Structure 1
Amino acid sequence: MTIATDRQHEFPETVWTQRVSLINRLPQPVAITLLVFAILAIWQLVALSGTVSPIILPSPARTAQDIVEVGASLFTGGYVFGAFLITLQEVIISFLMATAIGATLGMIVGGTAFGERALMPVIVAIDTMPKVAFAPLFLSWLGFGIASKVALATFIALFPIIVGAAAGLHAADENARMLFRSIGATPWQTLVRLRIPMGLPHFFTGLKIAAIGVVGGAITGELVGGGQGFGALIRVAASQLDTPRVFSLICYLSVMGLMTFGLVAWVQRRFVFWHRSSSIGNG
Structure 2
Amino acid sequence: MSDVSTTANGDTVWVEKDALIDRIPRSVAMVFLFVAVVAIWDLVTRMGWVSPIILPTPGETLADLMFVGGNLLSGDYMLDALWTTTLTVFYSFLIAAGIGFSLGVLVGETKFGERAVMPYLVAIDTMPKVAFAPLFIAWLGFGISSKVALAAFIATFPIVVSTAAGLYAASENERMLFKSIGASRMQILLRLKLPTGLPYIFTGLKIAAVGVMAGVITGEFLGGGKGFGALIRQSASQMNTPRVFALILYLSILGLALYFTVVWVQRRFVFWNKSDQPGAIG
CA distance in 1, matches of 2:26, 2:160: 31
| 2:79 alignment counterpart | 81
Report the equivalent of 2:118.
120
Is 1:138 equivalent to 2:136 in the alignment? yes
Q: Distance in 1 between matches of 2:166 and 2:19?
A: 36
Residue type matched to 1:120 in 2?
M
| Aligned equivalent of 1:42 | 40
CA distance in 2, matches of 1:150, 1:119: 23
Displacement, 1:76?
A: 2.1
1:19-168 alignment to 2 at 5 Å?
Answer: 21-168=19-166
Aligned pair in 2 of structure 1 residues 281, 24: CA closer, same or farther (>3 Å)?
A: closer
SS in 2 for 1:144: coil
Cα 1:275/1:219, change in 2 over 3 Å:
same
1:278 is displaced (CA, Å) by 5.5
Which of structure 1's runs of 4+ aligned residues deviate more than 3 A? 278-283
Partner of 1:268: 266
Counterpart position of 1:11: none
Bigger Cα displacement from structure 2, 270-279 vs 170-179: 270-279
For residues 84 and 206 of structure 1, the distance between their equivalents in structure 2, rounded to whole angstroms, comes to: 25
1:254 maps to 252
**Superposed displacement of residue 55, structure 1:** 1.3
The letter for the 2-side match of 1:48 is R
Contact 1:177/1:190 (CA < 8 Å) preserved in 2?
yes
Task: Determine if contact 1:265/1:281 at 8 Å carries over to the other structure.
Answer: no
Letter in 2 for 1:46: V
**Residue in structure 1 matching 2:218, options 197, 217, 220:** 220
* TM score, norm. by length of structure 1: 0.91
Map of 1:178 onto structure 2: 176
- Listed as ranges, the gaps of 5+ residues in structure 2 are 3-17
Deviations, residues 116-164 of structure 1 (Å, cap 9, x unaligned): 1111111000000000000010011111111100000000110111111
Asked if the contact 2:93/2:209 (under 8 Å) is kept, the reply is yes
The answer to whether the Cα contact below 8 Å between 1:154 and 1:214 also exists between their aligned partners in 2 is yes
Which SS does the other structure have where 2:225 is aligned?
Answer: coil
Hey, what's the Cα distance between the residues in 1 that align with 2:143 and 2:86? 15
Q: Distance in 1 between matches of 2:27 and 2:126?
A: 36
Partner Cα separation in structure 2 for residue 201 and residue 75 of structure 1: 38
Q: Distance in 2 between matches of 1:81 and 1:273?
A: 36
1:276–1:282 Cα contact (<8 Å) kept: no
Question: In 2, Cα distance between the equivalents of 1:152 and 1:29?
Answer: 36
How far apart, in 1, do the equivalents of 2:211 and 2:174 lie?
A: 34
How much identity, in percent, do the aligned residues show? Answer: 60
Contact 1:262–1:281 (CA<8 Å) still a contact in 2? no
In the other structure, the counterpart of 1:17 is none
Moved more, 72-81 or 146-155: 72-81
User: How far 1:276 sits from its partner (Å)?
Assistant: 2.1
Provide the aligned length of Structure 1 versus Structure 2: 266
Q: 1: CA distance between counterparts of 2:30 and 2:49?
A: 28
Q: Tell me by how many angstroms 1:281 deviates.
A: 5.8
Q: Is the 8 A contact 1:47 1:57 kept in 2?
A: yes
State the Cα deviation string for residues 67-94 of structure 1 (Å, max 9, x = none): 1110111122111111000000100000
Aligned-residue offset at 1:243:
0.2
Q: TM-score, normalised by structure 2?
A: 0.91
Provide the rounded CA distance (Å) in 2 between the counterparts of 1:56 and 1:186: 62
Letter in 1 for 2:237: S
- Runs of 5+ unmatched residues, structure 1: 5-19
Alpha-carbon contact 2:267-2:276 (below 8 Å) kept: no
